[in-house]
Amino acid sequence: MKVLYLHDWNHPCNHEALMSYGFEITAIKRFDIDKIDLNEFDCVYSPSYPVKTSKYPHSKFIFGPHFSVFPENNKLDFIRSSNAAYIVPSDWILKLWNSFDNVHGITLKTLPFAINTDLHQNNQNEKTNIFVYFKERNKKELEYVETFLKSKNLEYKVFHYGHYKQDDYIEYLKKSKFGIWIGCHESQGFALQIALSRNIPLLVWDINESSYENKRFFATSIPYWNDSCGEFYIDVSELENKFEVFISKLQTYCPRQYIIDNLSINACRKKFEDIAADIRSVK
The CATH number of the domain where 195 resides is what?
3.40.50.2000
Q: Quick check: is 194 in a domain?
A: yes
What is the structure's pLDDT at 123?
81
Residue 178 backbone phi and psi in degrees, to 5:
-165, 165
Cα–chain center distance at 215: 23
Q: Are residues 133 and 251 in the same domain?
A: yes
Q: Quick check: is 97 in a domain?
A: yes
Q: Quick check: is 119 in a domain?
A: no
Q: Are residues 220 and 94 in the same domain?
A: no
Q: Quick check: is 6 in a domain?
A: yes
Q: Quick check: is 124 in a domain?
A: no
Q: Quick check: is 44 in a domain?
A: yes
What is the structure's pLDDT at 226?
98
What is the structure's pLDDT at 126?
86
CATH number for the domain spanning 13: value is 3.40.50
Q: Are residues 151 and 211 in the same domain?
A: yes
Q: Are residues 177 and 238 in the same domain?
A: yes
What is the structure's pLDDT at 215?
82
Q: Are residues 62 and 95 in the same domain?
A: yes
Q: Are residues 23 and 91 in the same domain?
A: yes
Q: Are residues 219 and 233 in the same domain?
A: yes
Distance CA 88, CA 109 (A): 6
Strands 210-212 and 215-217: what pairing?
antiparallel
Q: Are residues 104 and 148 in the same domain?
A: no
Cβ neighbours for 131, distance < 8 A, ≥ 6 positions apart: 156, 157, 158, 159, 172, 173, 176, 179, 180
Q: Are residues 81 and 185 in the same domain?
A: no
What is the structure's pLDDT at 125?
76
Per-residue pLDDT of the chain (283 residues; tens, 9 = 90+): 999 999 999 999 999 999 999 999 999 999 999 999 999 999 999 999 999 999 999 999 999 999 999 998 899 999 999 999 999 999 999 999 999 999 999 999 999 999 999 999 998 778 999 999 999 999 999 999 999 999 999 999 999 999 999 999 999 999 999 999 999 999 999 999 999 999 999 999 999 998 877 788 999 999 999 999 999 999 999 999 999 999 999 999 999 999 999 999 999 999 999 999 999 988 6
Q: Are residues 199 and 252 in the same domain?
A: yes
Q: In what order do the strands lie in the sheet with 2-6?
A: 24-28, 2-6, 43-46, 61-63, 84-88, 108-110
Q: Quick check: is 123 in a domain?
A: no
Distance CA 121, CA 194 (A): 9
Range of the domain at 199: 129-263
Q: Are residues 157 and 253 in the same domain?
A: yes
Q: Quick check: is 283 in a domain?
A: no
Q: Are residues 226 and 247 in the same domain?
A: yes
Q: How many domains does the chain have?
A: 2
